[in-house]
């Protein structure tokens, strides 16, 4: 493993793409403004179909914003923020300990599907800590890496069952190939301006990301599955939501909770779970980005609870909102 500090955000991400081209899994880290600067290069990784992990430790924005404070306002940037149709994987750890496992999940997705992954942490998680049992090496999921070495029948954009193109280490005899930012002809990888080919390639790249639905974990419902109220969260709101729901349930109220760690694509059972509940509450450290995303995907009504102060939620704030929805009073703060 090698690490280095580049002179700027663009150099960091393009160096990472170069490392991926050479056969190494490359990871580059930043915060929201840095992700904006890396955006064009992330699109290049989409076009060249190379594995890449971009870690975004979100902070208050826009621009320089609140450099030392937390926020969850980069979800739209991660899911949509590139020119053209440029889908990428988006994952989000829910706690400091979860960062380890989600880093492995990000690496697995990037390599298996030959595509970029944006990993959305935030300032609250990055500055947080919790007890964590170190895993034995045998407990760590294996990351399968397969380089194409058979030159017979090789084409740079020939696809496997996952729609992933082959990963070839430069210099492999007989497997010289060209990649770059211009649109590629299907299979051959030649530069192509053919309209029908462009649409085909756009759809193939999108379908490749969607195909991961079949292997990412299904959402788990915690709490009362027969409740009328479902609390849906993502990222660092996990702790405050969990504590708030625990308090509410001790009072005899029924509340359910789901937490998204995989955001693009969403788990396959997302719509089925959302439609079970009369009311969905979505606490976020932004103006409702996950809520809007879910509404656009599934046409469901979602009530947002938003906080944009550079501070995490207190469990009492979420508890109070749940109380307002379910009725009754809460003692204390």
Which residue from 249, 265, 161, 271 is spatially nearest to 209, judged by alpha carbons?
Answer: 265
Asked whether the beta carbons of 290 and 92 are under 8 A apart, the reply is no
Phi, psi for 67 (deg, rounded to 5):
-60, -25
Determine if the pTM surpasses 0.75: yes
Distance CA 102, CA 59 (A): 19
Structural element, H or E, at residue 315: helix 315-326
Percent share of the chain, pLDDT over 70 = 98
* Contact partners, residue 117, CB within 8 Å, separation at least 6: 52, 53, 54, 88, 89, 90, 91, 106, 107, 109, 110
Burial label for 137, CB within 10 Å (0-12, 13-18, 19+), is exposed
Angle among Cα 152, 155, 157 to the nearest 5 degrees reads 150
The yes-or-no verdict on residue 125 having pLDDT over 80 is yes
Distances (CA, A) of 62 to 39, 50, 75, 91, 237: 15, 29, 13, 21, 21
Quick one: pLDDT at residue 327?
A: 85
User: 């149709």: which residue's tokens?
Assistant: 85
Q: For the chain, list the domains and their CATH numbers.
A: 8-215 (3.40.50.970), 222-326 (3.40.50.920)
Quick one: pLDDT at residue 141?
A: 87
Reported as a single tens digit per residue, the pLDDT across 67-82 is 999 999 999 999 999 9
Asked whether the beta carbons of 227 and 255 are under 8 A apart, the reply is yes
The yes-or-no verdict on residue 332 having pLDDT over 70 is no
Burial label for 217, CB within 10 Å (0-12, 13-18, 19+), is exposed
The yes-or-no verdict on residue 328 having pLDDT over 70 is no
Which residue from 111, 109, 106 is spatially nearest to 145, judged by alpha carbons?
Answer: 111
Helices (H), 22-89: 32-48, 75-80
The yes-or-no verdict on residue 331 having pLDDT over 60 is no
Q: Which two tokens stand for residue 165?
A: 């193109």
Reported as a single tens digit per residue, the pLDDT across 234-293 is 999 999 999 999 999 999 999 999 999 999 999 999 999 999 999 999 999 999 999 999
CA 223, 241, 54, 137: dihedral to nearest 10 degrees? -60
Q: Please state whether beta strands 116-122 and 89-91 pair in parallel, antiparallel, or not at all (unpaired).
A: parallel
């Amino acid at each position: 493993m090698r690490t280095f500090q580049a002179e700027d955000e663009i150099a960091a991400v393009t160096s990472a793409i170069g490392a991926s081209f050479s056969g190494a899994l490359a990871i580059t880290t930043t915060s929201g403004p840095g992700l904006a600067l890396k955006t064009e290069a992330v699109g290049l990784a989409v076009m060249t179909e190379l594995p890449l992990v971009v870690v975004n430790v979100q902070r208050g924005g826009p621009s320089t914003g609140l450099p030392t404070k937390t926020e969850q306002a980069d979800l739209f940037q991660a899911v949509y923020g590139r020119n053209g149709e440029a889908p990428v994987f988006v994952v989000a750890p829910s706690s400091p300990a979860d960062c380890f496992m989600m880093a492995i999940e990000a690496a697995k997705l990037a390599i298996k599907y030959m595509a970029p992954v944006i990993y959305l942490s935030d300032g609250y998680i990055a500055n947080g800590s919790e007890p964590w049992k170190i895993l034995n090496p045998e407990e760590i999921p294996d990351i399968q890496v397969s380089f194409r070495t058979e030159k017979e029948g090789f084409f740079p954009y020939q696809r496997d069952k996952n729609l992933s193109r082959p990963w070839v280490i430069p210099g492999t005899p007989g497997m010289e190939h060209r990649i770059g930012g211009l649109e590629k002809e299907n299979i051959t990888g030649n530069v192509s301006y053919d309209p029908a080919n462009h649409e085909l390639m756009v759809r193939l790249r999108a379908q490749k990301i969607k195909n991961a639905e079949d292997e990412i974990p299904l959402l788990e419902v915690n709490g009362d599955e027969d409740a009328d109220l479902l609390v849906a969260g993502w990222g660092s709101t996990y702790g405050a939501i969990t504590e708030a729901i625990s308090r509410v349930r001790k009072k005899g109220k029924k509340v359910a909770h789901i937490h998204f760690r995989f955001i693009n694509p969403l788990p396959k059972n997302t719509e089925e779970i959302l439609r079970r509940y009369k009311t969905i509450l979505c606490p976020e450290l932004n103006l409702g980005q996950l809520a809007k995303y879910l509404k656009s995907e599934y046409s469901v009504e979602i009530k947002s609870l938003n906080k944009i102060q550079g501070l995490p939620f207190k469990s009492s704030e979420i508890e109070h909102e749940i109380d307002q929805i379910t009725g009754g009073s809460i003692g204390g703060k």
